[in-house]
Chains A and B, each alone.
Chain A
Amino acid sequence: MLSGGGGGSGGGGGGAGGGGGAGGGSGGGRSPKPSFVSYVTPEEINLTEKEISRKEKQPDLLQGEVIFCSASPIRKCTQDDFSQRGIFGSLFCTNFRISFISDETQLEEEEGQVFKNKLYGENDIPLTCVDNIYRGFDEKKKLITSGSVRNKYPSKIIIHCKDLRVFQFSLAFAKEEDAKKIFQGIVHHCLEPKSLKCIFAFSYSEKMTFSSENQTKLKTVMFDSMVDWAQEMKRTKGNCKLVSANADFNISTKLPQFFIVPLAVSEEDFTQFQGKGIPIWCWSHHSGCALFKTASLPLMQEDGCSQSYRTYMERMLNAVAQNHLYSVKTEELPETLPTIQDIQQSYNKFKQFFLVDNTTEFWMSDVKWFSSLENSGWLDIIRQCLTKAVEVVECLENENTNVLIMEEEGSDLCCVISSLVQVMLDPHFRTLEGFQSLVQKEWVAGGHHFLDRCNYLHKDKELQSPVFLLFLECVWQLLQQYAPAFQFSETYLTVLSDSVDVSVFSTFLFNSPHHRATTIQPVSLLAQKGPLNLPTVWDWSVQFNSAAQDFFTNPLYVEKSRQDKVPRKTFRPKHQRHQSLPSTAFKSSPKKSFFKDETDSLKKMLRVKRISRWLNPTDLTQSTTREFYEAWQRKPLDYHGLLLPCVDGPALRVWAQRYLRWLPEVQIFGGGAMTLEKKLVDLLAEVRELRGKLDWHCSVDFSHRGAAALAGSSVRLSSAFPFFVSRTWSFKPAIPSCLQKNLITGTFADKEDEDSECLGVI
Chain B
Amino acid sequence: MLTGSKTTFKVRQLVPDVKGRMQSHGGLHVRGRDHFGLQCLPGECVLQRAVLVRKKLSAAEGGGWLAGTLFCTHFRVAFVAQDSKKPDDSADPVLFGDHDVALASIEKVVAVGPSRTKLVTPSTSLKFTPEELVVYCRDLRVLCFLFDRLTPETQAVEITYAIAKTYQPMKPGSILSFQNSALGSVEMRQFLSNRRQDCHMNWFETAADWEKELERTRAMGWRVSAVNDRFEMATSLPRFNVVPQKVLDTELKKTFAHFNEGRIPRWCWHHPCGSDLLRMASLQNNIYHEKDDIRNLEAIVFGVQQQCVVVDVAEEMPTPADIQLAHTRLRALCLGDISTNASVPDDRWLSTLESTRWLDHTRCCLKKAAEVACLLRERQLSVILQEPEDRDMNCVVSSLVQVMSDPYCRTMLGFQGLIQKEWVMAGHRFLSRANYHRDSDKEEGPIFLLFLDCVWQLWAQRPSRFQFTGDYLLALHDSAHVPLFSTFLFNCQRERSRRSQRLTQSYTPVDGWSEGPPEEASQHPSDPPFPPVWDWALQYSPRRRACFTQPVTQPILAAPAVLNGNLNANPDNHKLNDAVPGSVFLFSRGSFTSPSHLLPWRSGGGVGSYRKSHRRAPSSESLPGLDRLLKAYSLLEVCRTPSSPHDPQEPLLPLLLGPCVGVWKECYLRGALHAQAWAHPSSTSSPFASASTHHPVDQLAQEVQQLRDKLAQVSFSRAASKTNRQQFRRPEANLNRNASSGTFLFSASRPAQVTPRAIPPTSSLPKAPLPKCPITGPAHRDAGKRTFLFGSTPNGRADLRYTPTPSVRLAKNSGSSLKS
Contacts and interface: CB of A to CB of B under 8 A. Distances in A.
Contacts of A679: 464, 697
B729 A699 contact: yes
B810 A694 contact: no
Given A683-B701, A709-B820, A676 B680 contact: no
A645 B817 contact: no
B192 interface: no
A380 to B, nearest CB: 5
Contacts of B678: 481, 646, 651
A741 B590 CA distance: 8
A556 B815 contact: no
Interface string A575-612: 00000000000000000000000000000000000000
A670 B646 contact: yes
A174 to B, nearest CB: 31
A654 B679 contact: no
Interface string B450-478: 00000000000111110000000000000
Interface residues of B, number: 132
A561 interface: yes
B514 interface: no
Nearest to A751: B623
A531 B814 CA distance: 40
Contacts of B814: 684-685, 688-689
A648 interface: yes
Interface string B589-604: 1111111100000100
B715 A743 contact: no
B659 A656 contact: yes
A729 B374 contact: no
Given A111-B642, A649-B344, A735-B371, A666 B660 contact: yes
Contacts of A667: 655
A366 B736 contact: no
Contacts of A756: 619
Contacts of B347: 374, 379-380, 383, 649
Contacts, number: 387
Interface in B793-820: 797, 800-806, 808-820
B626 A747 contact: yes
Contacts of B810: 684-685, 687-688
Interface in B675-709: 675-680, 682-683, 687-693, 696-697, 700-701, 703-704, 707-708
* Listed residue (A375, A695, A727, A750) with the most chain B CB atoms within 10 angstroms of its CB: A750
* Listed residue (A557, A668, A760) with the most chain B CB atoms within 10 angstroms of its CB: A668
B616 to A, nearest CB: 11
Nearest to A548: B816
Contacts of B351: 370-371, 374-375
A133 B476 CA distance: 52
Interface string B417-454: 00000000000000000000000000000000000000
Given A716-B642, A735-B370, A651 B675 contact: yes
**Which secondary structure characterizes the binding site on chain B?**
helix
Interface residues of A, number: 128
Interface string B755-781: 000000000000001101000000000
B597 to A, nearest CB: 10
Contact of A555 (B461, B614, B804): B804
Contacts of A743: 590-591, 626, 629-630
Interface string B731-749: 0110110010001000000
A694 B797 CA distance: 26
Contact of B619 (A669, A706, A754): A754
Contact of B349 (A636, A649, A742, A744): A649
A666 B659 contact: yes
* Listed residue (A370, A547, A634, A715) with the most chain B CB atoms within 10 angstroms of its CB: A370
A371 B715 CA distance: 60
Interface stretch (B11-19, B59-67, B273-281, B381-389): B59-67
Contacts of A648: 346, 349, 672, 674-675, 677
B634 interface: yes
A436 B485 CA distance: 57
A650 B349 contact: yes
B288 interface: no
A620 interface: no
Contacts of B554: 710-711, 714
A676 B244 CA distance: 45
* Listed residue (B626, B677, B682, B693) with the most chain A CB atoms within 10 angstroms of its CB: B677
Contact of B692 (A373, A673, A754): A673
Interface string A626-642: 10011001111101000
A153 B656 CA distance: 39
A670 B594 CA distance: 38
Contacts of A651: 675, 677-678
Interface string B325-353: 00000000000000000001111111111
Contact of A719 (B344, B350, B690): B690
B314 interface: no
A365 to B, nearest CB: 7
A366 B642 contact: no
A300 interface: no
Interface string B579-615: 0000000000111111110000010000000010011
Interface in A428-449: none
B313 interface: no
B64 A557 contact: no
B55 to A, nearest CB: 12
Contacts of B633: 733-734, 740
B675 A683 contact: no
Given A363-B657, A555-B813, A654 B697 contact: no
A529 to B, nearest CB: 37
A434 B433 CA distance: 56
Interface in A333-388: 362-363, 365-371, 373-375, 379-380, 383
A742 B714 contact: no
Contact of A684 (B602, B700, B729, B819): B700
Contacts of A738: 367, 589-590
B719 interface: yes
Given A553-B812, A672-B689, A737-B590, A635 B64 contact: yes
Contacts of B815: 546-547, 550
B637 interface: yes
B308 interface: no
B642 A761 contact: no
Interface string B652-679: 0111111110010100010010111111
A653 interface: yes
Interface string B558-594: 0000000000000000000000000000000111111
A484 B641 CA distance: 32
B820 A480 contact: no
A656 B593 contact: no
B379 interface: no
Contacts of A693: 711
Interface in A715-756: 715-716, 719, 725-727, 729-731, 733-744, 746-747, 750, 754-756
A249 interface: no
B799 to A, nearest CB: 11
The 5 closest A-B pairs by CB, nearest first: A649-B349, A369-B658, A646-B677, A742-B590, A672-B690
24 contacts: A367-B658, A369-B354, A380-B346, A547-B815, A559-B808, A634-B63, A636-B797, A648-B349, A648-B675, A669-B640, A672-B689, A675-B464, A679-B464, A683-B700, A688-B810, A690-B711, A694-B711, A719-B689, A729-B640, A733-B634, A734-B653, A735-B370, A759-B592, A762-B596
Interface of A: 29, 111, 114, 362-363, 365-371, 373-375, 379-380, 383, 480-484, 546-547, 550-551, 553, 555-559, 561, 626, 629-630, 633-637, 639, 645-654, 656, 660, 665-676, 678-691, 693-695, 697, 699, 702, 704-707, 709-711, 713-716, 719, 725-727, 729-731, 733-744, 746-747, 750, 754-756, 758-762
